Amino acid sequence: MTLADELARQQRSISVAEFFEKNKHLLGFDSPTRGIITTIKEAVDNALDACEEARVLPDVFVGIKRTGSEVFRITVEDNGPGIIPAQVPFVFGKLLYGSRFHQIRQSRGQQGIGISAAVLYAQLTTGLPTLVISRTGPDNPASRFLLQININTNEPEVVEQSEVEWDRTHGTRVQIEFKSSMAAKKRLLEYLKYTSVVNPHARIRVELDDETYLFERVSDEVIACPQAIKPHPHGIEIGQLMRMLGAEGGSCGEFLVENFTRIGKKTAEEICRNAGIPPATPAASLTPAEQKRLLGAMQGVKVPAPPTQTCLSPIGEELITRGLEKEFQMDFVRSRTRPSSVYSGHPFLVEAAIGYGGKLPPDGNAQILRFANRVPLLYQQGACAITGCVAGVSWKNYNVSQAGLPTGPLLILVHVASTHVPFTSESKDAIAAIPEIEREVTLVLQELGRELKTYLSRRDKNRLQEDRARAVCSIIPEIAAKVAEIVDLPVPDTSAIEGRIMRKVVVKKMSRDGRVRLEVKNYTSQPGALTIYDISPDSGEGSDPKPAIVTELDGEHTKVWHVEIEPGGAWSAEYFGAGGGSLEIRGMPPEHVVVVDLDAQ
Amino acid sequence: MTLADELARQQRSISVAEFFEKNKHLLGFDSPTRGIITTIKEAVDNALDACEEARVLPDVFVGIKRTGSEVFRITVEDNGPGIIPAQVPFVFGKLLYGSRFHQIRQSRGQQGIGISAAVLYAQLTTGLPTLVISRTGPDNPASRFLLQININTNEPEVVEQSEVEWDRTHGTRVQIEFKSSMAAKKRLLEYLKYTSVVNPHARIRVELDDETYLFERVSDEVIACPQAIKPHPHGIEIGQLMRMLGAEGGSCGEFLVENFTRIGKKTAEEICRNAGIPPATPAASLTPAEQKRLLGAMQGVKVPAPPTQTCLSPIGEELITRGLEKEFQMDFVRSRTRPSSVYSGHPFLVEAAIGYGGKLPPDGNAQILRFANRVPLLYQQGACAITGCVAGVSWKNYNVSQAGLPTGPLLILVHVASTHVPFTSESKDAIAAIPEIEREVTLVLQELGRELKTYLSRRDKNRLQEDRARAVCSIIPEIAAKVAEIVDLPVPDTSAIEGRIMRKVVVKKMSRDGRVRLEVKNYTSQPGALTIYDISPDSGEGSDPKPAIVTELDGEHTKVWHVEIEPGGAWSAEYFGAGGGSLEIRGMPPEHVVVVDLDAQ
């Protein structure tokens, strides 16, 4: 017997379940703490995808509960369309099984691996099967499954199955128990927060041991589920074409029209003519040489890019801004959604936002939020094309300091949406460096950089003016005192002048000859709205304009005016009275208002 | 019909071939240029693994030939044990098929995916089947196959099969044709160079279009093929244990002894006692609760770490140094092989080397050569734990400048050998950040850093001394001239003094009273070996010691002495004669020798 015979006896087929059990880190189960986040991510992805397909506003519950010293039970429940009982075991108990792999459209899950990998991980680390409850509508009972995966065959094993009562009319609940430690709590909440930012139509409720968190939706609009499209003639390889041709019953011309987007009857004829193949030739009868000529002609023909309106689902500039404003306090936010584009026949588009200032940490690298098909990417930032693009932009051109990444109180959000996001690994942590995608990300960052620069320049200009004004103001009282001394008069109140120099809203009250006058002047560059409470023995009789409210208490009248005032504008009111009393201003931050109560002197 | 019913009709199983066809970037086929390198890498990995198993010195041929405008034919041929005809279609035409997945030992290929992925890529991009020729020994004919993969089933399809004449008595040849461009030539040669560094026993001959390259072996020792070991009781999860127990025919005690390394009869009894399970209990009859207790007891018992001597195959310090010296010119090289260690039950060890100076680029980041199981890692340096560790060491402690990575004329080689290398992705580009591995890498780098520091300090000290010596030497002739003038004598030759100050080997010849004397003094810190050619009319008669050779030509005698001399040592010879003639020194660089021929004056 040769050595080759001996070696042959060791050769074996490896089941895909075995493969991923041994290489669980490839799917994001590289550490017990990460396991929790990965499981929740996969289940929430599925929940949001399902709700989109059913056109319902997602209401997702996430529960994390310690059930043993190192064992955690993860529960994710949604109000999606549910899964019919015959499919449940396959969806959860078989790797590489799903509905979205063969469709060309944007979706969170693509491969049919995620959630079954969590089931695999649970049975590996605790030996426990996974519990699934699903109901497809009010007329159907809810089904309850206990299931696991046969590692040697990658087929589901149903441990228990029954019909149960369930208060939901439709939806799915999955409960998975595995070994972990809860060290990654901060990261988990971060993941949920970011998910909420890019899914502004979703409500996510979280119970983490005894704490509850709610990520409320900011939009009540159901988002349209992306529609699947056919492949584009420019984005296909010879191997795929040969397979498709082999499975075709019709003619070449019919084959082209039926199987590809952007090919009508006329284009099909042009392709066939250029390939030297009569359109009526049966598609399955082409020789390898003809197949190659056909591919060449398909790739050479001029056709529009794939339609992206329906197969992609961008978040949109307004919702990104609202989502960010909900979770972060910033002085400046801008969002941009780029027009869609194509790489290797896959439609994609890039959206991005930049936030600045506010409560963002003033030092260190900018915070980068990366998203792919509305899913936050939490790991391997350094390996991601998005990070590469952020570092590749010359931020100094936009008055932002940079050390590799831009630094300062800066937040950068980038969302890549595609019918096929090219991840660097099956754990879906980082986007591969595809030149077409890198180009779009760079362009959108440059657009936003220019807007940030405009904002920063204006802010710097304002600051400069403020500094100058402050310097001037600091000597005004001294000048006033000197002048008063010379002309032998009391020192005047200079605060109105300061208000003018400092660009504030100045409210003045003065009384003379039995008349009281209120004046408001807006020296700021913003419209202002304030409420004046003028409290004195005067009833405000004969006032023009009239107060909105007058109340009396113990002989003191409170007269209330609501004042709206344009930048540079003035407002005044006069009434009969003796003046005195006090003045209160509400509705504007105190640092923006100067009150000059001449009566109070 | 509910929406769930509709969705259910779209659910489908995905074949692993389909999955990897769509996600070919996961396997290193993300760009056409990379495809060539990945294919050669997978084929060469298999060739080297096979030769190791057969204990032959690998002789690998790699051919890359353009056969169409964008089509390249890759050929890899080895002198390994060959593959029996029944196995060839599966090894090359089925993903997840192989002999090494289920074995616990170091090998280059682990998953049974690599080479069949290349076959898949070829048929996707050119539609062409792959050619394989294999022969298992002189008594068997060679078999020739044309084969491809059925994408829908992930089963091999044999297009043609025949017996052919082949000049090799054993080995395998694979020929794969796919679309690519040859832009990555530099990287390809880099890959082969690095492969040669860590496989010093392999000869790799390359034909790249019309150019030929040879990477010659520097060691003629066949390396021992690592032996498979059984799993370690501390490195197993409950799910695996349950499967193993279910498949067992014997008792619990027998199960433990037979299936695990480091468990003898006594330890098995201790485990059973701690688990509260009689050793005679049939293993397959344990309840889930008993299974968990058994696992707890297995993990709690004190046993040695897994045996690593046989299952791992380090390159060794000497061969790493020799491999590096063959391919790089450096002033300093040191290698270290760390003791083996364990993560999650997988044995591993780390080796590393540091090179400095010579022809390494003086500026920029250190060159980092990463290896896993003797395979170079060329991509995703930033995502690799090795890079993280290199950046994490405080190189400034070792007098090396650092900006993230260390900088300067520095080369760092790190080799991680393991029964299961934890890659971050299936393309096997980067090692995941496993704390145990990171610790070992950091330790070995620190060890080498300390040695580098010693070298650099000594070098700096030598430089300082040399600078001082040069300053002194520059005034000695002037002093000598002055003194000679005062005492009214001829100016003496001061070169011997300079040689002493400059730390060189000084060779002196002088003659007086019919005797000729040769003196050698070694003022360096290194032992020296030199050959003295003393050419004069003297025959060297009566010499002590005798010359090794004396030859005569036209009345001139050439007397040859071989001199070996310790640092600080002296040597001399005397013979009868009149002196004169000339002196030549060979075997030492001229800048290390000072010849003082007093006769020649």
Pair B314, B349: CB distance under 8 Å: yes
Q: How far is CA B487 from CA A25, B21, B476, B598, in A?
A: 87, 94, 16, 21
Q: Which residues contact A251 (CB under 8 A, 6 or more apart)?
A: A279, A280, A281, A282, A283
Tokens encoding A327: 């979770």
Cα–Cα dist A419/A305, whole Å: 14
Q: Which positions in chain A touch B420 (Cβ < 8 Å)?
A: 22
> Phi and psi of B35, rounded to 5°?
-50, -40
Tokens encoding A407: 């630094």
Q: Which residues contact A428 (CB under 8 A, 6 or more apart)?
A: A28, A372, A375, A377, A421
Q: How far apart are the first and last CA of chain A?
A: 115
Sign of the four-CA dihedral B153, B159, B161, B164: negative
Find, among A315, A129, A100, the residue nearest to B22 by Cα. A100
Any chain B CB within 8 A of the CB of A406?
A: no
Find, among A17, A192, A47, A206, the residue nearest to A121 by Cα. A17
Cα–Cα dist A94/B595, whole Å: 83
Find, among B349, B363, B288, the residue nearest to B320 by Cα. B349
C-alpha distance from A410 to closest chain B C-alpha (Å): 23
pLDDT for B601:
44
Mutation site, A31, A84, A116, A420, interface B, largest B CB count within 10 A: A84
Q: Which residues contact A589 (CB under 8 A, 6 or more apart)?
A: none
Number of H helices, E strands in chain A: 14, 26
SS3 A411: strand
Q: Note whether A81 contacts B23, CB cutoff 8 Å.
A: no
User: pTM score, two decimals?
Assistant: 0.73
pLDDT for A306:
84
Cα–Cα dist B350/A382, whole Å: 24
Largest CA distance in chain B: 125
Cα–Cα dist A362/A350, whole Å: 27
> Phi and psi of B496, rounded to 5°?
-65, -40
Cα–Cα dist B309/A12, whole Å: 26
Low-confidence residues of chain B: pLDDT under 70: 1, 183, 465-466, 469-475, 493-502, 599-601
Q: How do residues B539-549 score in pLDDT, each as one tens digit?
A: 888 898 999 88
Pair A478, A453: CB distance under 8 Å: no
Tokens encoding B245: 């127990």
Tokens encoding B311: 């299952």
DSSP state of B563: E
Q: How far is CA B384 from CA A385, B341, B368, B425, B446, in A?
A: 16, 20, 11, 11, 18
Q: Which positions in chain B touch A16 (Cβ < 8 Å)?
A: 16, 96
Low-confidence residues of chain A: pLDDT under 50: 601
Beta strands in B8-151 (DSSP E): 12-13, 59-66, 71-78, 97-98, 130-135, 142-150
From the list A8, A86, A125, which residue is nearest B239 (CB)? A125
- ipTM, two decimals: 0.72
Tokens encoding B158: 């044999």
Sign of the four-CA dihedral B27, B32, B33, B35: positive
pLDDT for B177:
92
CA B369 from chain centre, in angstroms, equals: 9
Pair A40, A188: CB distance under 8 Å: yes
Cα–Cα dist A331/A183, whole Å: 33
HSE toward the beta carbon, residue A493, CA cutoff 13 A: 15
- Tell me the residues of chain B between 27 and 66 that have a Cβ less than 8 Å away from chain A: 30, 50, 53-54
- Tell me the residues of chain B between 482 and 521 that have a Cβ less than 8 Å away from chain A: none
* DSSP secondary structure of A251-299: BHHHHHHHHSTT--HHHHHHHHHHHT--TTSBGGG--HHHHHHHHHHHH
From the list A5, A30, A127, which residue is nearest B84 (CB)? A5
Tokens encoding A470: 């402050």
Strand order in the sheet with B528-536: B549-553, B556-565, B528-536, B582-586
> Phi and psi of B203, rounded to 5°?
-110, 125
Report the chain B residue with the minimal C-alpha distance to residue A149: B239
pLDDT for B599:
66
Q: How far is CA A460 from CA A409, A456, A465, B528, in A?
A: 15, 6, 9, 72
Rg (CA), chain B: 33
Pair B73, B63: CB distance under 8 Å: yes
DSSP state of A127: -
- Angle, helices B288-300 vs B265-275, to 10°: value is 130
Continuous H helices in B343-401:
385-392
From the list A136, A430, A432, which residue is nearest B30 (CB)? A432
Tokens encoding A113: 């691996």
The continuous run of DSSP H or E covering B276 comes out as none
Q: Note whether A5 contacts B136, CB cutoff 8 Å.
A: yes
Q: Note whether A125 contacts B427, CB cutoff 8 Å.
A: no
Mutation site, B15, B18, B23, B70, interface A, largest A CB count within 10 A: B23
Q: Note whether A5 contacts B137, CB cutoff 8 Å.
A: no
C-alpha distance from A243 to closest chain B C-alpha (Å): 9
Find, among A439, A382, A398, the residue nearest to A416 by Cα. A439
HSE toward the beta carbon, residue A151, CA cutoff 13 A: 20
Report the chain B residue with the minimal C-alpha distance to residue A171: B4
Cα–Cα dist B40/B150, whole Å: 23
Beta strands in B20-84 (DSSP E): 59-66, 71-78
Q: Which residues contact B359 (CB under 8 A, 6 or more apart)?
A: B328, B329, B330
Q: Which positions in chain A touch B130 (Cβ < 8 Å)?
A: none
Tokens encoding A513: 């000859």
pLDDT for A495:
65
SS3 B536: strand
* DSSP secondary structure of A169-207: SSEEEEEEEEE--GGGHHHHHHHHHHHHHH-TT-EEEEE
Pair B151, B119: CB distance under 8 Å: no
Tokens encoding B216: 């010659």
Find, among A514, A552, A518, the residue nearest to A532 by Cα. A518
Cα–Cα dist B99/B91, whole Å: 9
* DSSP secondary structure of B173-192: EEEEEEE--GGGHHHHHHHH
Checking phi first, is residue A167 left (phi over 0); if not, alpha (psi -120 to 50) or beta? alpha
Cα–Cα dist B264/B249, whole Å: 18
Report the chain A residue with the minimal C-alpha distance to residue B291: A127
Rg (CA), chain A: 34
pLDDT for A473:
62
Q: How do residues B206-260 score in pLDDT, each as one tens digit?
A: 998 889 999 999 888 888 888 888 988 988 889 889 989 988 889 999 999 999 9
Q: How do residues A106-159 score in pLDDT, each as one tens digit?
A: 888 777 788 999 999 999 888 899 999 999 999 999 999 999 999 889 999 999
Q: What is the 3-state secondary structure (H, E, C) of A509-560?
A: EEEECCEEEEEEEECCCCCEEEEEEEEECCCCCCCECCCCEEEEECCEEEEE
